[in-house]
Amino acid sequence: MADQNICSVNGNCIGCGVCVNINNKLFAMDGGHSKVIKQPVTSEEIASFNMAKSSCPVTAIVGEPKIANSL
C-alpha cells in the first residue's frame, strides 16, 4: 500500500461546493471549505473524483486515485 496516492483538497479551496455537488459521498464541506471524506477506490468513485477535480475552479483537488487491487 506504499504506492497509494492520497486524494485531498488543498488550501486553494474557496468553498464553492462544486465537488460536494458532484459527489457528497467523497466530499463534504467543513468550515467553509471542502474536504475528502472517503478515498475513491471503485471505478465509479474514481470517475466522480476526476470529474470533481477537473470541475474545481481553483484546482484545489489533488491526487491520482487508483483502483484498489482485489486479491
For 13, which DSSP code?
A: -
For residue 36, the cross-strand partners are: 27
> For each of the chain's 71 residues, which pLDDT tens digit applies?
444 579 999 999 999 999 999 999 999 999 999 999 999 999 999 999 999 999 999 999 999 998 777 55
pLDDT of residue 70: 57
Inter-residue contact 8 to 56 (CB < 8 Å): no
Q: Which domains does the chain have, with CATH numbers?
A: 8-62 (3.30.70.20)
Cα distance between the two ends of the chain: 13
pLDDT of residue 18: 98
C-alpha cell at 70: 482485489
What is this structure's pTM?
Answer: 0.87
pLDDT of residue 66: 84
Which residues in 3-21 are b (16+ Cβ under 10 Å) and which e? eeeebebeeebeebebbbe
